[in-house]
Amino acid sequence: MNIGAVMGKSVSREYAQLFCLAAILSSCLLMPFREASGQVELSIDEEDFKKLDTFEGHVLSKADKVFGEKDYRRAAAEYDAFILQFPKSLATPYAVFRKARCLQLDNKRNEAIREYTQILDYFPNSVRYAAAALYYIGECHFQNGDVKEAMKAWAELAADEDYRKHYLAAGAINRLGDYLVSQQKPGEAVEYYKQVAIDFRKSNPDAARYAMSKVLDHYIRTQPDEPKLREFYEQVQTFEWDPARPGEDNYWFRLRENIKSRGNFGETEADMRMAYYGYWAGVMQGKRPDDDDFQIDYANFRLAADGNGSAWAAFLDKQFAAGWKDGDWDRIIKWISVFRSNKNKVQEYYAKLDLSRMTAKQLERLMKVLYDEVGDASMAKNVFSRIKLDDLNDQQKYNLERYLWQKDGNLVEIVCQSMADSENGRMELLRYYHWSRNYAKGMPLADECAGFPRFGKEAYWLKAEMLQWQGKYQDAIKAYQQADNPPHNLWRIADCHIAMGKRELAIAQYREIENFFPDQAPEAALRIAYQYRDMKDQKQYVANLRGIMKKYPKSGQSSTAHLELESMGIAIGGGVDAE
């Protein structure tokens, strides 16, 4: 339909714009609604709808209802009828837009483009619908495989100061940037990404964060440019997840983190790596001399650029000496971490420590550095021996011994035995023996812990698992029964019966689960069927699969049963176990 013809052949573009002025005033704020499918659709502004007379509102609501039902052909006819009846309505731009949307969703994309274009021709200042129309024109072209025309539309969207703030514009402009990157035009692409990051920082944070990452990629790695990066940092109010007050410390911290995260190069990219780190080391040189973390990163970037290990070590030694204060053990630990791959330097800085003057927290941190970064278990154990466990509460001891699970069982025992809550210490040690499958120590300790009222059931469970792992299934069943945590223990008891070849007993156990635990019933029924399958009882296997489909039709197990029967070429129907 030609909107000009409906409104009168003498209508001018200027008249159409003036006619829509009332709509423009209330259309700047966007109010999309979300369908059940998750797709966001643009709806009429609530205030605009209130201004319609009763008959207009009724006709438009009817069209919207059909649209919501996804009957797009009928909905297009309803919107068309509205346009014919009310060509000068405040809702006319919306009706034209919705008609175009119906055509697009009905895969009549070329017709949709023509309708969207009419919105741009007759209602260009109705930003709410005109910007959306331009977005969807691009999407129609993209769906048609005409990428260049799609990008042309989205570039027009990005260029208009009003249109580009529409909520749909963010994704379109990001896609435009991605396209330009694919065309080897990163310099043009970054301007679009910057636009999205700045304009949608709060209104569409997901799109803004994506765009921000692309800008960082460009100014950090593709075309390093620290001054432009700093300017961008101010414009988007930090590189944090959400906007914040820009600050010098935050800027350099986030910049260094991003340099490191983007600084991975392959074996054949040595020249690129040297140039990359050389640039950023040059940017950092001479700045923030009292910031140890900054200077350590600077030294590491310089090393990556020139490979001069001696100069790197000398610089770090000088940095340490310049800021050294007696008793600053945390700083020494940091330098041990920095020199972790150089055993001689680790020993040199370790010798500067006075372990007797360090807190338990500092000693624990040093121990972890020696274990995890230096890889020297002997030194780490020596530091552990200096930790005064009496200075730690039970929660701190718990955290310490849990860390030591991966390191040294003897140290785990020492920490657990030092807990003020001795029963909890014994139980935690049992958990360690269970985890490490130390049956020799775990089994007797499980019997001991079973006597603690608050830990009894858990102790029996851990004992049962250790017995099951050792193949002592009958004893494991007794322990699972004492654990008394159905249906979990019932599943395990069934597993033990199966392991002993007693499938009838396993079936009986599964039936108990099916009868008394509704949430577990479909799975129990399926496992019963599988037992008959493994017993080569085809009749019962088929009957139980059919029974699952009848009793639990909405379950995933019903779908599995259906597929099993189909794979055997058996007709679907009721079974003897269906009732």
pLDDT score recorded for residue 23: 34
C-alpha distance from residue 172 to each of 42, 100, 178, 205 (Å): 16, 18, 10, 15
Place of tokens 């001696």: 310
390 DSSP 8-state letter: G
In tens, the pLDDT along 337-390 reads 999 999 999 999 999 999 999 999 999 999 999 999 999 999 999 999 999 999
Query: What domains are defined for the chain?
Result: 1-167 (1.25.40.10), 512-579 (no CATH)
* Residue 427, pLDDT above cutoff 50: yes
Among 526, 484, 492, residue whose Cα is nearest residue 509: 492
Q: 27 pLDDT band (50/70/90 cuts)?
A: very low
The percent helix, strand, coil of the chain (3-state, each to 5) is 70, 0, 25
* Residue 436, pLDDT above cutoff 80: yes
pLDDT score recorded for residue 254: 97
Angle between helices 329-338 and 360-369 (to 10 degrees): 10
Q: What percent of the chain has pLDDT above 90?
A: 90
Q: What is the mean pLDDT of residues 113-128?
A: 95
For all residues of the chain together, what is the average pLDDT? Answer: 92
pLDDT score recorded for residue 1: 61
Rounded to 5°, angle at Cα 27 from 21 and 31: 165
Place of tokens 């350099």: 252
Pick the more confident residue, 137 or 29. Answer: 137
Q: What is the mean pLDDT of residues 3-15?
A: 44
In tens, the pLDDT along 150-161 reads 999 999 999 999
* Residue 244, pLDDT above cutoff 50: yes
pLDDT score recorded for residue 38: 42
* Residue 48, pLDDT above cutoff 70: yes
Pick the more confident residue, 1 or 501. Answer: 501
User: Token pair for residue 392?
Assistant: 């730690």
Q: What is the mean pLDDT of residues 253-259?
A: 98
* Residue 29, pLDDT above cutoff 80: no
In tens, the pLDDT along 278-296 reads 999 999 999 999 999 999 9
* Residue 572, pLDDT above cutoff 90: no
Q: 24 pLDDT band (50/70/90 cuts)?
A: very low
In tens, the pLDDT along 438-492 reads 999 999 999 999 999 999 999 999 999 999 999 999 999 999 999 999 999 999 9
pLDDT score recorded for residue 573: 55
Q: What is the mean pLDDT of residues 199-218?
A: 96
User: Token pair for residue 168?
Assistant: 């749909």
pLDDT score recorded for residue 91: 94
Q: 45 pLDDT band (50/70/90 cuts)?
A: confident
pLDDT score recorded for residue 46: 87
Specify the pTM.
0.79
**Residue 143, burial from CB neighbour count under 10 angstroms (0-12, 13-18, 19+):** middle
Q: 37 pLDDT band (50/70/90 cuts)?
A: very low
Q: What is the mean pLDDT of residues 419-426?
A: 98
Q: What is the mean pLDDT of residues 184-204?
A: 96
Question: Which residues touch 504 (CB under 8 Å, ≥6 apart)?
Answer: none
